[in-house]
Structure 1
Amino acid sequence: MDFRQLEYFLAIVDHGGFNRAAAALYVSQPSLSQAIRGLERDLGSSLFHRIGRKAVLTEAGAALVPPARAALHGLELARASVGAVRELRAGRLEIAAMASPTVEPLSTMVRRFTDRHPAVSLVLRLALTRADVIEMVRTGGCELGLLATSSPLPGGLNVVPHHVGDSRLVLVTPMDGPFPAGQPVRREQLEGHRLIVGQRGTGIRSYVDDLRAQGIDVRIAVETEHRMAFLPLVLGGVGLAVVTDAWADLSERAGALVLDLEPPALQHNVLVSRTMEPTPAARAFLAVATRTIGT
């Protein structure tokens, strides 16, 4: 077994098949298949079920994923600790992020990080819920993850949380909507209104679920995973939307009305990292993120 075989194995897992993995790795498909057959011989087990063009993990294959990611991370850490990468003159950092904090504070963090370390390549991956972010970091798919949550993270998640500021929730309505400009909207005033909401597992959806738990009869007009759909749906008169204030400027420039909520509601932005030693790029990004809070 060698690191090249593990890299090929994880590429097949991440890309869902041999052909796509070979294209991503810039190797021929026969060379990739030969390397995996060698790995399977070494381990004495099949790692994939070949179903058409797809590759589905066997039970043995699924068991190999976490240690394979850990082994490659260890190799990356060793390489990153010496030479050019140690000085951040090269490297790559993958970050998983939920939609709302991708607007802010992530965009500011990325801008400041790339200003300081332009040679480091960043890869931003979308995660729909905070559980998805944690899983992508915990299993090694990404080294860092940014999530928004209305409640503290439970223990035992095998990630390290870093609080990187808070975001307010605001209400977005059409300009001729039911509430006057410049006045906060109390929770009970949302009674009977139709709302556009995200999927369960997001902080914005938790706010709406809490309203209903308090006996405030809000109606869910649309549930969507696509944050960019919120604003067109609001402007189209489908319903109102509760979003983070990161969306306020874009919403106002598009012609929507943005109103404060009363009492104020906050979402906590949390960067999570692995429990193992971070690579220099991840360590530098965490330092930038921490400084961003203060400014």
Structure 2
Amino acid sequence: MDVTLRQLNVFVAIADHRGFGTAAAALGMSQSSVSHSLASLERAVRGELMRRTAPAGPTPLGDALLPHARATLAAARAFAAAAAARHDTAAEGAITVAVPPTAAHGLLPRLLRLWRDNAPHVEIRIFEGFAEEITQWLESGTVDAAILIDPDPVPRGAVPVATDALEAVMRGDHPLAGEDSIALADLLDDPLLATTSGAESQLRELHALAGVPYRPTQHIRELGTLLCMVEAGLGVAVVPSLAGSMLPGGLTLVPVLPRVERRLLLTGPATRPWHPHVTAIRDLCRETGPAT
């Protein structure tokens, strides 16, 4: 089968940009060249990969082959970077790093400063997503590295970049807002608003340790929405302490007992060699140690 990296790049670009014209603009190609490249790839695989609709979307065959195209392109980028690094360890290049929302707000600025100051030749592009998305992106080749929360098993080569704990978030006028810490059972009189953005398994663990049933009144995906609901007086929430940087002025965090921690680790993919720039930023994190 005669398939080229250019064809795969076009296929992925059309899928990501959901159109032939937008993919052409992103790739710096003419729309006719994009169309011809995809058509050649479709002849090679003997089937249609993208629907010619607005917006464009992958066919069932396209959905099946898209992860393989991403992984192939990621491996090709890593190959080129590794070859360049043999001659110049400071060779410029770009990598993508996926992060969960709490890490994006509470941890990422510190990491980006560290990487910028010590590896200025590496361009870091950030993808923000939820835990289940991030794992898929990493193994499919959509991203080159990711920050994972309490992965099991711990990926080989991963390094911890932060440790945080679950804390109650409440309005500043809540009767418990001034306490040094509170027991989870003390929150039972308040409606519990639960986030599903990277902390629900730890929240369930907290309730199990406290011997308290886990019965949230609402499940909220977006952490920002959750905080707005707490600010509106609709309940309290238990969130990772890294979310503290997102709090509006009227809310406060109070440590919750029993203490339940999360570990955030930076890793590359488990199923293919790492991009050398991922190894470089990983080593920088290892030297500085995790944030607490």
TM-score normalised per structure 1: 0.85
Following superposition, the deviation at residue 99 of structure 1 comes to 0.6
Report the counterpart of residue 243 of structure 2 in structure 1. 247
| Structure 2: 5+ residue stretches without partners | none
Report the counterpart of residue 187 of structure 2 in structure 1. 190
Following superposition, the deviation at residue 244 of structure 1 comes to 1.6
Q: Secondary structure, in 3 states, of the residue corresponding to 2:141? A: coil
Is 2:231 the partner of 1:232? no
Which segment is superposed worse, 71-80 or 254-263?
71-80
Which segment is superposed worse, 170-179 or 208-217?
208-217
Report the counterpart of residue 18 of structure 1 in structure 2. 20
CA distance in structure 2 between the aligned counterparts of 1:281 and 1:8, rounded to whole angstroms: 24
Following superposition, the deviation at residue 161 of structure 1 comes to 4.2
Distance 1:235-1:74 versus aligned 2 partners, 3 A rule: closer
Aligned counterparts, 1:55-204, within 5 A: 55-59=57-61, 61-83=62-84, 86-128=88-130, 130-149=131-150, 152-154=151-153, 161-199=158-196, 202-204=197-199
Counterpart residue type for residue 131 of structure 1: E
Count of aligned pairs: 286
1:134-164 alpha-carbon deviations (Å, 9 max, x no partner)? 1110111001111223xx5148xx8864433
CA contact (8 A) 1:95 1:125 kept: yes
1:189-225 alpha-carbon deviations (Å, 9 max, x no partner)? 12131122222xx442234444666763566344322
| Structure 1: 5+ residue stretches without partners | none
Which segment is superposed worse, 135-144 or 162-171?
162-171
CA contact (8 A) 1:172 1:256 kept: yes
CA contact (8 A) 2:15 2:56 kept: no
CA contact (8 A) 1:196 1:221 kept: yes
Distance 1:240-1:43 versus aligned 2 partners, 3 A rule: same
1:154-186 alpha-carbon deviations (Å, 9 max, x no partner)? 48xx88644333111111111110315133110
CA distance in structure 1 between the aligned counterparts of 2:158 and 2:133, rounded to whole angstroms: 15
Q: Secondary structure, in 3 states, of the residue corresponding to 1:123? A: strand
Distance 1:12-1:78 versus aligned 2 partners, 3 A rule: same
What is the identity percentage for the equivalent residue pairs of Structure 1 and Structure 2? 25
Report the counterpart of residue 262 of structure 1 in structure 2. 257
Counterpart residue type for residue 36 of structure 2: Q
CA-based RMSD of the aligned residues comes to 2.7
CA contact (8 A) 2:106 2:245 kept: no
